[in-house]
Amino acid sequence: MPFQIIRNDITKVKADAIVNTANPMPCIGSGTDSAVYAAAGEAQLLAERKKIGEIAPGEVACTPAFRLQAQYILHTVGPVWMGGNRGEREILRSCYAKSLALAAQLKCESIAFPLIASGVYGFPKDEALNIALSEIGKFLLTGEMKVLLVVLDRRALELSESLVGSIEQYIDEHEARSVREAEYKGAGPQERRRLEAARRYNERKALSIDGPGAEETAEEDVLFAAPMLKEDSLPVFAGKSLEDVLDKAGDSFRQKLFKLIDESGMDDVTVYKKANIDRKVFSSIRCKKKYKPKKETALAFAIALRLDMPATLDLLSRAGFTFSPSDRFDLIVAYFITNGKYDIFEINAALFRYGERILG
């Protein structure tokens, strides 16, 4: 996939270009800068760095990578956080944008970034992450490159407190709902639906849910009540031959996907880039009539096409998948869809932070 978040020491990552958070002056700094010099070879790298001289904040310069598993080291100077009123955010955006532009100029096929300025420079990690995802996403909408965001551990990726709180509340609520649904075990489908409808009615009455809020809750009902309806909502096959049934089979995942793309008004390139899907993978989907995606791939397309929950469930079902009210991966993706948040890089950062596989 074009964009990935990985846990590793950036000096051990294999990529055409490694980005170093450099000291403005040609000397060995601390943090990532120190680690890069040590791994590449201090004497050789420092000699090359001195040829460049001072680098201004937000700018980038290139040296050979020496002993690293890369061709180039891109040295960029991040902003020291001074409260956010001295252009720090614009400087950080420039670090990513100019590093990506230089890597493209050097014809690099892959680049690895640390989370720039989030260490000793004190840039708030949640804002640093948002800027990184924004600039990388902007580049990948038109550029072709594998971009890696490298962190030492999941805790290094701090999401905003409001987002973490909302996700965790969503997970807690629906995991609790899953437990309650277990109480219905043994009841028939009609009785389970009656109990579930009664519980939902009481919840909404207690919370005074109406207007726009009721619409959102109804969309969640589609997600978590749908499994209870399967037993008595299957097509009627009595009196029909197997051939008749198969002749009336619905669209495959692939057929439905390309219909949705046509309806969206987006071209193929825009869709696969918004889905964090590699061009070769998308070409394979175009060519293979019996293509069956992984769940992460199917959901990535749902995000790219900005499908609501019912449409997402329909697309998933054509690949043989559904959502579970007790699976954290499903709950996190469902949280973003039901809240109308379709930035796949933000979704993947949240999935990574919670230890789940990412989309694409």
Residues 222-237, mean pLDDT to the nearest whole number:
49
Catalytic residue among 9, 16, 33, 343: 33
Q: 237 lies in a domain? A: no
**What's residue 248's pLDDT?**
62
Residue 227's pLDDT band (cuts 50, 70, 90): very low
Please report, for the domain that includes residue 35, its CATH number.
Answer: 3.40.220.10
In this predicted model, what pLDDT tens digit does every residue of 311-321 receive, in sequence order? 999 999 999 99
- CB neighbour list of residue 84: distance below 8 Å, 6 or more residues apart: none
Q: Side-chain half-sphere of 142: how many Cα atoms within 13 Å? A: 7
**What's residue 315's pLDDT?**
95
Q: 358 lies in a domain? A: no
User: Residue holding tokens 């201004």?
Assistant: 56
**What's residue 162's pLDDT?**
62
Choose among 16, 23, 38: nearest CA to 75: 23
Q: 240 lies in a domain? A: no
CA–CA gap between residue 276 and residue 345 (Å, rounded): 8
The percent of residues in the chain predicted with pLDDT above 90, rounded, is 62
Residue 216's pLDDT band (cuts 50, 70, 90): very low
Residue type, 151: V
More confident residue, 321 or 158: 321
More confident residue, 277 or 178: 277
What is the domain count for the chain? Answer: 2
Residues 298-308, mean pLDDT to the nearest whole number:
97
Q: 345 lies in a domain? A: yes
Residues 126, 159 contacting (CB under 8 angstroms): yes
Q: 241 lies in a domain? A: no
Same domain, 168 and 130: no
Of 10-14, 29-33, 49-53, 207-211, minimum mean pLDDT range: 207-211
Same domain, 192 and 309: yes
CA–CA gap between residue 334 and residue 349 (Å, rounded): 15
**What's residue 27's pLDDT?**
92
Residues 312, 302 contacting (CB under 8 angstroms): yes
Residue 31's pLDDT band (cuts 50, 70, 90): confident
Return contacts of 172-178, CB within 8 angstroms, 24+ apart.
Answer: 174/220, 174/224, 174/325, 174/326, 174/331, 174/334, 175/325, 175/326, 175/331, 177/224, 177/325, 178/324, 178/325, 178/326
End-to-end CA distance of the chain: 6
Catalytic status, residue 33: yes
E strands present in 172-296:
none
Residues 141-152, mean pLDDT to the nearest whole number:
92
Give the mean pLDDT of the chain: 84
CA–CA gap between residue 306 and residue 165 (Å, rounded): 23
Same domain, 150 and 258: no
Q: 245 lies in a domain? A: no
Structure tokens at 280: 């070769």
Structure tokens at 320: 């043989």
Same domain, 316 and 180: yes
Same domain, 67 and 140: yes
Maximum mean pLDDT: which of 195-204, 249-258, 312-321: 312-321
Residue 29's pLDDT band (cuts 50, 70, 90): confident
Same domain, 256 and 321: yes
Same domain, 200 and 310: yes
Residue 125 belongs to domain spanning: 3-156
Same domain, 319 and 349: yes
Q: Is pTM, for the whole model, over 0.75? A: yes
